[in-house]
Amino acid sequence: MQKQITYTGMIWLFAAQFIVILPFLFHLPLWLLPVLLFAAAWRLRVLSGAAMQPGNMTKVALIGLGIAGLLLSGLRFPSLDAMATLLLLGFAFKSLEVTQRRDAIVVIFIGYFLVALHFLYTQALGAALYATLSMVILTGALVGVQQTITEFSTGQQVRFNLRLSVFMLLQCLPLMLVIFVFAPRFAPLWSLPLAPTQAKSGVSDRMAPGDIEKLAKSGDLAFRVTFKGKRPAQHELYWQGLVLNHFDGREWRQFEQDYDTYQLKSVLLNHYRWNPDAIHVQGEAVPYEAIYETSGQPWLFTLAPTLEVTGDVLRGADYRVMAQQALQAPFLLKAVSYPDAQRDAVLPDTLRSLAVTLPPSGDTRSRALAQRLWRETGNPQAYIDAVLARFREQPFAYTLNPPGLGESDTVDTFLFDSQRGFCAHYAGSFVFLIRAAGIPARVVVGYQGGEWNDAGQYLAVHQYDAHAWAEVWQAGRGWVRIDPTNAVAPSRTEQGLEAAVQAEGTFLADSIFSLRKIAWLNGIRQQVDTVQYGWRRWVVGYDRAEQAALLKSLLGTFSIGRTALLVAGLFAVIGLFWLLTLGMTQRQAQEAPEQRLYRRFCEALAKRGIVREPGDAPGVFAAQAAAHLPALANVIQEFTQVYEGVCYAPTADGQAATRRLKTLLAKLR
């Protein structure tokens, strides 16, 4: 028969449920918390006798309401959010029927699973610390639901449970470390799609007026970079993501047809394959490693062109580097780039056709401007200089709050009317004018610059560093990077976005990045970010390649036999540690002879149906036994008297008393 859970045990259980559900509320419907509080309040009222246990019909009705709420929340099926919400709903409702310890243990075990599930949403260091707290509370609840009424006060019991919980988890720590370091790193066997609102972030595969400036208002991290040698100058840090070739009059896209990730991989492999022979290496190599944050997109941002790269990536003829799958977890990339290398000295026809195409109509004023400037200059370089000079000399402004351009003739509206825009406006209109003169050009999107962290010696690139620029193909030089934004706001590439829009005062005014103006607060922020980077690099980024490198450094030549021997030795050490910490190697205290004989005396009487209660004194128990066994009353009374004498009034001849107890015990038997 299962033991009933106590009121205190139920409080522990609800505390554990609350701690587990709380972080999910940043990603899932907020109504899950009221559901938990409702279930907890009902169960506590049942335990106090103020309410009735919910019947089957009530449970069915509550489940129906929960599923209805799930359907009305607009979550896509199947998706991670929908499955997690359904599990959390059952986790909350389960407390309605918790009456026995077995039910409470089931809820706690589900809680352990949910702690692990939250890492599918975020693997930040803060999430790991919170998960540790959740494990402590869950384990404390596991102890609490096993307890009956004790003589401890509530405060003493809470401290005892928490101490025991922490002690138990610390004992598991060595085993956890061994499993983390040596367990094979397998790719996931299956995956669920993320919700549309969470699936994609950062630079997109299309660019319309207003898109990139939205990113510029976000302080979220995009990726971090550690350079293995000399760090390039700030104005040289152009992190290319992807190339946009097709313009429909308002929006720039990669190709005329939209492709999903799988189709795009096929297009790059079959039509725009990476060709290392098209690169003439010159200039210094820039080796580095980058850790990209979860974005839900496959784009990886590198210093083009990248000649050497490690990781599960795909490269294209436009010098992009992209992951094989959308990034649903932090991604580590090691690369060597040659930013000064010459690319495509001979331009393939497929790339040329992409780089000269314009819509058949629209933006007539811009086309007329291009024709006039071409007549005045007569050669590509002079024409490019004339277009850039127009940006410098006309009253163009660089702003995070540009006016709208409408749905048609957007280039005309920007160049002749508003003349206020962000990098996307300048890059898009520049490429339009270059193509209008018949010169191959394309838009490149990615990030420019980054914030150098002196504490951690790495570059942190944030969403507000998102940028768009142009590449123009020139005979004998190949693709040449030209950033038309520099003609209007040169401080953008030299000092960053904050300096470029300083006059507006619009740079992340309400963000934590505004603290950079206070030196000591900025130092604390960078120190915290350094710790986060270490967590990303050495814990979250610990993959098969890192594991293989570690094993090679430990074992010299990697082999399964050596690895198995090392792991077996570590398990032996952990086993010895457990033996010592649990006290399993300590010898039990020897039982005194008179205590051993009295225990056997009680066992002999128990066989005759006379059981001693824990609180019965020897004299009281002897009187009860003598009343039930009058034929043995003298033996029972004498045994008790001798035993009490040995315990409370010992004499010099203790051995004689022990022999007498043995004789009396034999008579009793």
Work out the angle at residue 630's Cα, subtended by the Cα atoms of residues 626 and 636, and round it to the nearest 5 degrees: 40
Whether residue 530 lies inside any domain: the answer is no
Whether residue 169 lies inside any domain: the answer is no
248 is catalytic: no
Active-site choice (425, 462, 467, 529): 467
The CB-side HSE value for 487 (13 A sphere, CA atoms) comes to: 23
Q: 3-class DSSP state for residue 503?
A: coil
Active-site choice (423, 425, 465, 529): 423
| Same-domain check for residues 238 and 326 | yes
Q: In what order do the strands lie in the sheet with 221-227?
A: 306-310, 331-337, 286-292, 221-227, 458-462, 451-453
Structural domain range at position 333: 201-516
Residue 124 near residue 24, CB atoms below 8 Å: no
Distance (Å, whole) CA 493 – CA 497: 8
Distance (Å, whole) CA 653 – CA 660: 11
Distance (Å, whole) CA 134 – CA 111: 9
Calculate mean pLDDT across residues 388-415: 89
Whether residue 553 lies inside any domain: the answer is no
Predicted confidence at residue 328, as pLDDT, reads 81
Whether residue 54 lies inside any domain: the answer is yes
Predicted confidence at residue 44, as pLDDT, reads 80
467 is catalytic: yes
| Same-domain check for residues 246 and 322 | yes
Confidence tier at 589 by pLDDT (50, 70, 90): low
Average pLDDT, the chain: 85
Using CB atoms within 10 Å of the CB of residue 525, give its burial: 0 to 12 exposed, 13 to 18 middle, 19+ buried. Answer: middle
Q: Which amino acid is at 208?
A: A
Whether residue 533 lies inside any domain: the answer is no
Confidence tier at 149 by pLDDT (50, 70, 90): low
The DSSP call for residue 183 is S
653 is catalytic: no
Per residue in 300-338, pLDDT (tens digit) is 999 989 999 987 899 999 999 999 888 888 888 999 999
| Same-domain check for residues 245 and 130 | no
C-alpha 325 chain-centroid distance: 17
Domain count, the chain: 3
Confidence tier at 558 by pLDDT (50, 70, 90): low
Work out the angle at residue 340's Cα, subtended by the Cα atoms of residues 381 and 294, and round it to the nearest 5 degrees: 110
Whether residue 643 lies inside any domain: the answer is yes
Calculate mean pLDDT across residues 6-18: 87
| Same-domain check for residues 495 and 625 | no
Active-site choice (81, 318, 483, 529): 483
This model's pTM is above 0.85: no
Whether residue 172 lies inside any domain: the answer is no
Distance (Å, whole) CA 470 – CA 485: 10
